[in-house]
Amino acid sequence: MAKLNFGGSEENVVTREEFPLSKAQDVLKDEVVAVIGYGVQGPGQALNQKDNGINVIVGQRKGTKTWDKAVADGFVPGETLFEIEEALERGTVICYLLSDAAQIALWPTVKKHLTPGKALYFSHGFGITFNEQTGIIPPADVDVFLVAPKGSGTSLRRMFLQGRGLNSSYAIFQDATGKAFDRVIALGIAVGSGYLFETNFKKEVYSDLTGERGTLMGCIQGIFAAQYDVLRANGHSPSEAFNETVEELTQSLMPLVAENGMDWMYANCSTTAQRGALDWWKKFRDATKPVFEDLYKSVATGVESQRSIDSNSQPDYREKLDAELKELRDSEIWQAGKTVRSLRPENQVVEA
């Protein structure tokens, strides 16, 4: 494990240089990794492990769309694709990648297959951290750990196929076998992590829930909508408002920030943009910080987790979700965005 300086703080990280794929393959050579859930994280993690030579199987309910997707992705019924209970029985490492609400519902089934020496793997600290709400309390004789890629399963797979890696956090909640560290790092490398940084279950879920509701999705959509609405209210066309609010940020600036950092971006834009950004960024920080403080408190006190459990466990959850997503999808900003995206050169059909 290496210690690296992050802005003046030393942190433990594991890189692919010190823990290469060959080492991960050796650690996992006698394991059967059962991926339970083939929705958001499941496909990317399962396929990356499969391509990396890990003995991985998938557990899904036969006759579902996700079962069919696993078949289309190359998992073979009766060989590498099984009903959930059979996969749980066969697996020595259980990758529990269902949604948080589904994890609660399936937990009694999973628990009875957690025999001594097995490992329970998460990609989110939710179930363990909020166990008073979820009821997920593993037996004492199994390893419990997590690898949490910092992005969607789609991004994890895409970057893997590009020869890149998505950074992941890792945490060990329970080391029953004395092998939990090697197991979790090997799995982190096998799923395609760029590097792995150390955390714990509580910090992972607190930062994750804050990030999803904040700058990753909730806050950024709110900021997009606010700027777009102000431009439209002042007579700007939908095309102009969308391009100045979203397209320039996502297509031009954010890739540069990802490569070089925001400090570089500030130093390499026009002097007019530079002056305005320097004058206004602290105002936006001060305006939004109280909202983030409220958000973090809501996460830390279990309000957000209970809200998720209560909402996502309702029998009509999907119908209500579809209605909320339709409102977002049908809004002018994202309808304008659909047209803007279609006009990108890479999306144009060029006649020979």
CA distance 55 to 42: 15
**What is the amino acid identity at position 188?**
G
Which of 191-217 are b and which e, b meaning 16 or more Cβ less than 10 Å from the residue's Cβ?
bbbbbbbebbbeebbbbbbbbebbeee
Ligand-binding annotation for 244, yes or no, is: yes
Q: Where are the alpha helices (DSSP H) in 191-302?
A: 201-213, 218-233, 238-242, 254-260, 262-267, 271-300
Output the CA–CA distances (angstroms, integers) from residue 328 to 89, 155, 185, 193, in the order listed. Answer: 42, 22, 39, 32
Known catalytic membership, residue 113: no
How many C-beta atoms lie closer than 10 Å to residue 251's C-beta? 13
Side chain identity, residue 126:
F
Q: State how far the Cα of 97 lies from the Cα of 302, in Å rounded to an integer.
A: 21
Catalytic member of 124, 183, 213, 232: 124
Q: How far, in Å, CA of 155 to CA of 262, rounded?
A: 22
Report which residue type is found at 145: F
Known binder of ligand: residue 26?
no
Runs of H (alpha helix) within 2-152: 21-27, 42-51, 65-72, 84-90, 100-112, 126-129, 131-134
**Residue 319 assigned ligand-binding role:** no
Residues annotated in the binding site for Mg(2+), as ranges? 208, 212, 244, 248
Residues annotated in the binding site for substrate, as ranges? 270
Residues annotated in the binding site, as ranges? 208, 212, 244, 248, 270
Tell me which residues are annotated as active site: 124
